[in-house]
Amino acid sequence: MVGTAKKTRRTTNKDDSLAVVHGENPQVSTIIAPIVSSYNEKIRPILDAVENLRRLNIAKEGIQLPTIVVVGDQSSGKSSVLESLAGISLPRGQGICTRVPLVMRLQSHPLPMPELMLEFNGKSISTDEDNVSDAINIATDELAGNAKGISNTPLTLVVKKNGVPDLTMVDLPGITRVPVHGQPENIYDQIKDIIMEYIRPEESIILNVLSATVDFTTCESIRMSQSVDKTGLRTLAVVTKADKSPEGLLEKVTADDVNIGLGYVCVRNRIGDESYEEARIEEERLFESHPMLSKIDKSIVGVPVLAQRLVQVQGMIISKTLPEIVKKINEKLTYNLSELDKLPVNLTCVADAMTAFMHIIGLSKESLRKILLRGEFDEYPDEKNMHCTARLVDLLDSYSNHLQCFSEKEATKDFLMDEIRELQEAKWIGLPNFMPRTAFLSIHQRKVKAVAHMPIDFVHNVWEYLETVVSSVLNRHCENYYQLQVSTRRAGQSLISKMKDNSIKHVLVVVEMEKLTDYTCNPEFIAEYKKLILQQDCFVKAVLDRQNNQTSKVKLEGVGEIDVAHLKQYSSMLTQAFDLKVRMIAYWRIVQKRFIDSIAMHLMLSIHNLVNKDLEKEIVHDLMSPKGGGIERLLEESPSIAGKRDKLNRSVKVLRESKETVGNLMDRIGTYGD
């Protein structure tokens, strides 16, 4: 196993030179230069800063960090590549070895012994080279469970060791399509979702690990990376197992059929019990002496080359994105501070609560005056439903039209028949040609009963609409005070209900008054009656003179076209019935206007009282009642505001720490420039 090679390793210093002694004496010691350069001394502070931002979870603020993301199909050799870069053993076995995102933070330190630290779930666990693989497995089980499932909760491994490159990489689960025993059926979709989340941001560099033994164009990892990086400008490919399939490898990496914009690096990973130093020697010998692999340009072969390329790419992406990260942090911090300022001040005493209450009531009343009384809609320019004066007119017009339609229909339907029947039943012994008042009242009362539901429906509709308006206004002004919002909503609903009942009572009184007697001082009644009665003689003559083969229609001005075929048999009553009819038409037009005007005036008075007097009284009464809890309840912040305040405060804390981190980094970069 991997761990058995420890006895052959040597710790080398960063200034050691490369000396390879070929085969003559296998006992000769070999010294391998560490995979590191002076570039690390400048890049490490930058990596430390980026890592601090990562620990602060700045991604939750919508700010993506530059990241090298390692992807590959299962068994492509991902873990072996990372082992070669870090010089430590990672978990191995059948199936998926990496079951959570593994953030590998490599730091070159001239320590006598390597230091390894695992960080997850807010814990930090120290380990060593011999036990790191087991420690990763235990941590993975805690994050992803003991089965073979995966999790998107990251695990961070910090490796401080002499000779490693200063790199931060995220190793993701290997891609597999076929679930094995213990894995969920949708294991492929879960892995794909995790990979796409990490490689989709433009700040991510994709390190695509490909096995030389497969056709690159069929690799699932290539398909995924191409879906987010079609030109390949942020994709670097590592070809493993070059020693297993050297045939055609040169053509594969030079033809580049899969758009790898950052190029290829071919490597040979450690085999069996080899130490990492021995593996590097064998790798160099392989690409120097193999008849096929030796033809590959030396600038794209070997783990040291890969390490240097990754450090360069990492520096490139960080330098490219750092100014934008600084800008985004500042913008997000400014925005969150602005949002915090918009939140209501925490009320700490009854005096503060009373002041806030009076302010809210004042704002609510002014908003209602604007939209209900003055027709000003500047607070709701695009919400047509809150343009209340216009909507109230719409409701009134609809009610008026319904009354009008009823009147027109009743005026021509079975013309004069109601009047004839009433006159027949109102006969009495007395002088002829006197109009019996009982007949008029009987017809009038039936008509009033027939339309009595219309004003009630109208009033109901108006108050239903007003309830939504009042609730909307109160909720808007009380949104920052949950307890007051509850109280005002309850008070508003209670008041609207009482005022609606009062309006319905008013309508019922109006209806009863209309049914009780026939009276008006409106001169329009006499004028309309005179205009209509002038047509009496012509109408009666037209009915009596009409032959059966002629049309049965007669046009009556102010009423419309009338069917009169049924009236010839009532010739003796036509004159009196016509007189009664036109009296009713003239009077009903007055009644119809009273039904509209009196109820409209009543509603306007009610709305005026609602806004200027009743609503405030009702809210105060509710708030001070036992169920309202008193003005002190305003001191309790609403759950939504408390949650928003807490979230913003946490975000501001993270952003301020992030700003300090990048500020210190920019200062250091400026020092390098000097």
3-state SS record for 298-360: HHHECHHHHHHHHHHHHHHHHHHHHHHHHHHHHHHHHHHHHHHHHCCCCCCCHHHHHHHHHHH
User: What local confidence, expressed as pLDDT, does residue 617 receive?
Assistant: 92
- Residue 569: burial class (beta carbons within 10 Å; 0-12, 13-18, 19+): exposed
User: What local confidence, expressed as pLDDT, does residue 534 receive?
Assistant: 93
Residue spans of the chain under pLDDT 50:
1-34, 36-38, 95, 549, 672-674
Query: Which residue type does 65 have?
Result: L
Query: Which residue type does 421 have?
Result: R
Structure tokens at 302: 């070997």
- Residue 240 to residue 598: CA distance in whole angstroms: 91
Query: Which residue type does 654 have?
Result: V
Whether 236 and 309 have beta carbons less than 8 Å apart is answered as: yes
User: What local confidence, expressed as pLDDT, does residue 93 receive?
Assistant: 57
Predicted TM-score (pTM) of the model is 0.56
Q: Which has the closest alpha carbon to 492: 346, 326, 671, 621?
A: 621
Strand order in the sheet with 115-120: 123-127, 115-120, 155-161, 102-108, 167-171, 67-72, 204-211, 235-240, 264-266
- Residue 227 to residue 231: CA distance in whole angstroms: 10
Query: Which residue type does 367 have?
Result: S
The bridge status of strand 235-240 relative to strand 264-266 is parallel
- Residue 606 to residue 502: CA distance in whole angstroms: 9
Residue 587: count other Cβ atoms within 10 Å of its Cβ: 20
Whether 65 and 50 have beta carbons less than 8 Å apart is answered as: yes
User: What local confidence, expressed as pLDDT, does residue 496 receive?
Assistant: 96
- Residue 482 to residue 343: CA distance in whole angstroms: 13
> Helix or strand or coil: residue 68?
strand
Query: Which residue type does 449 have?
Result: K
Structure tokens at 582: 């036109």
Where residue 113 falls (left for φ over 0; alpha for ψ -120 to 50; beta otherwise) is beta
Name the DSSP class of 659.
H
E strands along 212-277, which residues? 235-240, 264-266
pLDDT (tens digit per residue) in 20-46: 333 333 333 333 444 544 455 666 677
Q: Which has the closest alpha carbon to 81: 305, 292, 284?
A: 305
- Residue 383 to residue 32: CA distance in whole angstroms: 74
Q: Which residues 6+ apart lie within 8 Å of 502 measured at CB?
A: 606
Count each helix (H run) and each strand (E run) in the chain, helices first.
19, 11
In terms of DSSP H, where are the helices of 388-481?
A: 388-412, 417-425, 437-451, 453-478
> Helix or strand or coil: residue 662?
helix
User: What local confidence, expressed as pLDDT, does residue 547 receive?
Assistant: 53
- Residue 91 to residue 503: CA distance in whole angstroms: 79
User: What local confidence, expressed as pLDDT, does residue 40 receive?
Assistant: 53
Q: What is the distance in angstroms between the CA of the first residue and the CA of the last residue of the chain?
A: 50
User: What local confidence, expressed as pLDDT, does residue 207 receive?
Assistant: 94
3-state SS record for 531-565: HHHCCHHHHHHHHHHCCCCCCCEEEECCCEEEECH
Query: Which residue type does 36 have?
Result: V
The bridge status of strand 123-127 relative to strand 67-72 is unpaired
The phi, psi pair for 208, rounded to 5°, reads: -95, 115
- The string of DSSP letters for 9-36 reads -----TTPPPB---SS-TTS--B---S-
- Residue 198 to residue 194: CA distance in whole angstroms: 7
Locate tokens 């790199």: which residue? 167
- Residue 32 to residue 34: CA distance in whole angstroms: 6
- Residue 171 to residue 208: CA distance in whole angstroms: 11
The phi, psi pair for 565, rounded to 5°, reads: -60, -30
Structure tokens at 394: 């719409």
pLDDT (tens digit per residue) in 560-593: 888 888 887 888 889 999 999 999 999 999 999 9
